[in-house]
């Protein structure tokens, strides 16, 4: 792939042209080549290393010093899409190339397709038309003459098309050899019985006779083949001729041409949509607006009518936006609830239960960022068009990268919400997280719990050993609290020696287990006082959960329980037990500390 200097807003779009199975050249408004994929270079016999930063499309592809005379981009009208075809000699033989020109917001796509098969198909169709003209001349002679012309009758019987003569009552009077081979019931008495039907065809043109009827056409599908029926009435007598022409080959040829054209146009639409999406991502500062725009572009291309996009927020377990199209509010509610309720700490945190999906044939796409963390999920109804998987791959990468980058940008902005000493969140961020969890609880019934934690004896350490030792003690507590929580939980330092842990998706039983875990952790934690001595660290904690209390009362209740536990801690300890926590590392003995650490 050749790549030159390009606007920083479209690098991922330029890379995506390698995924298109057609020759693609991307140029700017000055006709300079920004990128040319390998297939395009092969079509024009151009070596990869000959593409230079100043190469133009007319110079590199057509060896011209000026723009092509018939270039659709050279006129005054600013066309968004145009086509042209040309003949090119290649390796001693000629090929027909069809060029589609599609203009994006910042770049122009030139799509080159080998058109030789289409040209041959068109020539074959022209040959078939000439053959039909000759047959029609022969049939006109028969229609205008009489049955006594034995020579013509002989020719009629040997025609390569099925021919049937009927009277005004649809009774069969004559059937040629081809008709006996092609039509289902050669022993039929009526023309419609000949086609395997028991009643006249719907909207039959001859139901009321042949009077004045000339070259009336209708169509049938017989035995999986396509037949065109041409109906002509006799001029000198009643009745007429029914000619059944097998047009299966022509239909298939036309479908092949149409399919090729649709494929080229579809790929151009995909590329243009990718360019538009990338441009929107660069210019629109509203994240939800960009995600809505993605859905507008993606749904028609995937040919789906229903979609749900869930975008994660910066805090694990929280959501920035849930967008849906073609899905009821009830089903969207159930899906979002299941997304919140899933346990993201399991082996497979990306799976939503089938009974929570909005459609039986739902397709789930996990959007995983560069750090292998989920940034959101995409849910689609059905598999879409035949190239649905390819469409998903083309759009998933820029969407995931955008969502991942937005999370990183918001994380940088929220550094002001962290405590400088411990690196934990501060009270302002905690309040925001509590508000989010309260909203989730009220809307989806997702429980959460609060744990208020206070360090025992911090004032004593500050007074006896200095604030540097006190800071060391605070940092040790913060580090152990952070390591004891999940990614979705929030640990905040809300005061000098006070911490609050928000446990998401946790009821009172889960909070109690966490409290027991804290007792185990802080039963064996010490921090260095000096080179030879350590001091053990203990904390007091109180818990409250929405499964037993109101959301607005959680912090107050947990704080009250923490102080009860703190008072109980000091009541149950003699003064010597409170102070005798110094350990001599060299002599392995405890030193008695005379002063009280009661706050």
Tell me how far apart the alpha carbons of residues 72 and 67 are, in angstroms, rounded to a whole number. Answer: 10
* Farthest-apart Cα atoms in the chain, separation: 138
Please state which architecture CATH assigns to domain 421-591: 2-Layer Sandwich (3.30)
At residue 453, does pLDDT exceed 90? yes
Going by C-beta distance under 8 Å and a sequence separation of 6 or more, which residues neighbour residue 270?
20, 301, 391, 394
pLDDT at 431 over 90: yes
Query: Going by C-beta distance under 8 Å and a sequence separation of 6 or more, which residues neighbour residue 193?
Result: 185
Cα(282)–Cα(354) distance, integer angstroms: 36
pLDDT at 155 over 50: yes
Mean of pLDDT over the chain: 80
- Name the CATH superfamily for 285-414: GAF domain (3.30.450.40)
- DSSP state for residue 12 in the 8-state scheme: H
The confidence score (pLDDT) of residue 345 equals 57
Is the pLDDT reported for residue 596 higher than 70?
no
With a cut of 70, say whether residue 92 has pLDDT above it: no
pLDDT band at 575 (very low <50, low <70, confident <90, very high): very low
Q: Please say if the pLDDT value at position 62 is more than 80.
A: yes
Tell me where in the chain the CATH 3.30.70.270 domain(s) lie: 421-591
pLDDT tens track for 353-381: 888 899 998 889 999 888 788 899 999 99
CA gyration radius for the chain? 40
CATH class of 120-246: alpha beta
Domain boundaries 2-114, CATH class:
alpha beta
Mean pLDDT value across residues 476-481: 91
Q: Look at residue 116 and tell me whether its pLDDT is greater than 70.
A: no
Q: Where in the chain is the domain with CATH 3.30.450.20?
A: 2-114, 120-246
Q: Which pLDDT band, with edges at 50, 70 and 90, does 435 fall under?
A: very high
Q: Write the pLDDT tens digit of every residue in 68-82.
A: 888 877 665 566 778
Q: What length is written for the chain?
A: 599
Q: Which part of the chain is CATH 3.30.450.40?
A: 285-414
What is the C-alpha separation between 482 and 496, in angstroms, rounded?
17
Separation CA 343–CA 348 (nearest Å): 9
Q: Residue 474 above 80 pLDDT?
A: yes
For 182, residues 6+ apart whose C-beta sits below 8 A from its C-beta are 162, 222, 225, 227, 244, 246
């Amino acid at each position: 792939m050749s790549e030159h200097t390009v606007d920083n807003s479209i690098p991922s779009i330029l890379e995506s042209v390698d995924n298109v199975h057609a020759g693609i050249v991307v140029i700017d408004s000055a006709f300079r080549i920004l990128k040319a994929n390998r297939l395009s270079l092969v079509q024009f016999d151009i070596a990869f290393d000959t593409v230079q930063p100043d190469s133009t499309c007319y110079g590199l592809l057509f060896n011209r010093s000026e723009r092509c005379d018939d270039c659709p981009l050279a006129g005054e009208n600013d066309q968004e899409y145009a086509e042209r075809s040309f003949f090119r000699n290649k390796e001693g033989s000629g090929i027909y190339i069809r060029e589609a020109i599609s203009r994006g917001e910042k770049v122009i796509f030139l799509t080159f397709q080998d058109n030789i098969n289409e040209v041959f198909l068109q020539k074959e169709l022209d040959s078939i038309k000439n053959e039909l003209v000759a047959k029609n001349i022969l049939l006109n002679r028969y229609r205008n003459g009489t049955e006594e012309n034995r020579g013509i009758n002989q020719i009629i019987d040997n025609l390569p098309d099925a021919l049937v003569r009927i009277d005004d009552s649809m009774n069969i009077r004559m059937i040629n050899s081809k008709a006996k081979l092609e039509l289902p019931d050669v022993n039929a008495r009526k023309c419609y019985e000949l086609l395997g039907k028991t009643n006249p065809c719907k909207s039959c043109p001859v139901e009321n006779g042949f009077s004045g009827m000339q070259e009336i056409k209708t169509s049938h599908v017989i035995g999986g083949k396509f037949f065109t029926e041409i109906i002509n009435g006799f001029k000198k007598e009643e009745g007429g001729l029914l000619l059944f022409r097998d047009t299966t080959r022509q239909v298939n040829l036309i479908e092949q041409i149409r399919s090729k054209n649709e494929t080229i146009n579809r790929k151009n639409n995909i590329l243009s949509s990718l360019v538009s999406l990338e441009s929107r991502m660069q210019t629109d500062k509203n994240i939800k607006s960009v995600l809505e725009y993605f859905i507008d572009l993606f749904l028609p291309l995937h040919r789906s009518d229903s979609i749900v996009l869930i975008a994660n927020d910066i805090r694990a377990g929280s959501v920035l936006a849930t967008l849906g199209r073609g899905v009821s509010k009830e089903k969207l509610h159930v899906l979002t609830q299941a997304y919140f309720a899933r346990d993201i700490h399991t082996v497979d945190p990306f799976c939503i239960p089938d009974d929570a999906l909005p459609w039986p044939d739902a397709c789930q796409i996990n959007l995983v960022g560069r750090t292998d963390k989920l940034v959101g999920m995409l849910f689609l109804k059905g598999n879409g068009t035949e190239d649905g998987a390819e469409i998903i791959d083309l759009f998933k990468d820029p969407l995931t990268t955008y969502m991942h980058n937005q999370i990183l940008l918001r994380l940088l902005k929220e550094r002001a919400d962290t405590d400088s000493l411990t690196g934990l969140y501060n009270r302002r961020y905690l309040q925001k997280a509590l508000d989010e969890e309260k909203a989730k609880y009220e809307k989806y019934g997702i429980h959460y719990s609060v744990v208020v934690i206070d360090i025992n004896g911090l004032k004593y350490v500050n007074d006896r050993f200095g604030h540097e030792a006190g800071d060391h003690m605070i940092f040790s507590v913060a580090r152990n609290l952070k390591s004891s929580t999940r990614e979705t939980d929030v640990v905040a330092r809300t005061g000098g020696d006070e911490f609050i842990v928000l446990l998401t998706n946790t009821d009172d039983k889960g909070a109690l287990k966490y409290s027991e875990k804290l007792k185990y952790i802080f039963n064996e934690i010490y921090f260095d006082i000096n080179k030879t001595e350590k001091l053990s660290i203990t904390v007091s904690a109180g818990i409250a959960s929405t499964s037993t209390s109101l959301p607005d009362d959680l912090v107050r209740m947990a704080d009250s329980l923490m102080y009860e536990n703190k008072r109980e801690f000091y009541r149950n300890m003699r003064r010597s037990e409170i102070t005798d926590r110094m350990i001599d590392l060299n002599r392995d003995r405890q030193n008695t500390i005379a002063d009280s650490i009661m706050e």
